[in-house]
Amino acid sequence: MSFRLAVLISGKGSNLRAIQEAIERGTCAGSIVAVISDRASAQGLTFAAEHGLPSSVVSVRDYPDRSAWDAALAAKVADFMPDLVVLAGFMRVVGAAFLDRFAHRVINVHPALLPLFPGTNGPEQALAAGVRVTGCTVHVVDAGVDTGPIIAQAVVRVLPDDTNDTLHERIQHAEHQLFPRVVDAIARGVVTLGAQVRMSGASDDGTILFAPLFRDGPT
């Protein structure tokens, strides 16, 4: 039976696209059984429709409070019986009802090298701090803000003339390389999620998932 993925998005769905394209190439195990957004206007829903991926919208505005929305979101995702829930540019914080239902089965990609620069505007925080490198982190989602166990990270150099937009673009490129690899490793049992992340070996090309990916050369 195929490893089932539910992907949650809020915008253009570039990481959704990266994962689906890796699945189509045969480099990412599993299949996307649901694409769920909190916004009906999310461009990623168009991509889902074009690729025959079932989709749904669970909008915060349709519920009296965040707790009710969180419970409804959890119920909708559960309808698709996913093995893994992938937050791919999902701009809402999932709550207790959701995390209880999918304990140790929710992952997220964050545009910084956690634990540095959690929360919003990771690239902007990196520029303000004057760091030489930043990157992206795939981590297990817990009740905190970007505090869950780290699965893998990719490193991106900060260039002297970087703006928030140029740096974020290169970080996203690294995300598109790393995120499908992590999903594949989880689907194949190379990585096991829990209160701690456990690895049983290396990826197919012999590299360890924690190894940095310098997209534009070392500093």
Cα–Cα distance, 51 to 43 (Å, whole number):
13
Residues 81 and 8 sit within 8 Å (Cβ to Cβ): no
Structure tokens at 53: 């991926």
Domain 1-102 identical in fold to domain 109-219: yes
Question: What 3-state class would DSSP assign to 61?
Answer: helix
Residues 47 and 22 sit within 8 Å (Cβ to Cβ): no
Residues 37 and 55 sit within 8 Å (Cβ to Cβ): yes
Q: What is the dotted CATH code of the domain comprising 1-102?
A: 3.40.50.170
Using pLDDT thresholds of 50, 70 and 90, give the confidence band for residue 196: confident
Residues 36 and 6 sit within 8 Å (Cβ to Cβ): yes
Query: What pLDDT is stored for residue 194 in this prediction?
Result: 85
Question: At residue 211, does pLDDT exceed 90?
Answer: no
Between β-strands 55-57 and 31-37, what pairing exists: parallel, antiparallel or unpaired?
A: parallel
Residue 32, number of CB atoms within 10 A of its CB:
25
Cα–Cα distance, 91 to 44 (Å, whole number):
13
Residue 140 pairs in a beta bridge with 107
Q: Which CATH number fits domain 109-219: 3.40.1160.10, 3.40.50.10420, 3.40.50.170, 3.30.200.20?
A: 3.40.50.170
Contacts of 132 (CB under 8 A, 6+ apart): 157, 158, 219
Q: Where are the domains of the chain?
A: 1-102, 109-219
Query: What pLDDT is stored for residue 213 in this prediction?
Result: 43
Length of the chain: 219
pLDDT tens-digit readout, 66-106: 999 999 999 999 999 999 999 999 999 999 999 999 999 99
Sequence-ordered alpha helix ranges (H) in 14-115: 14-25, 44-50, 66-79, 96-101
Residues known to be catalytic: 110
Contacts of 130 (CB under 8 A, 6+ apart): none
Question: At residue 217, does pLDDT exceed 80?
Answer: no
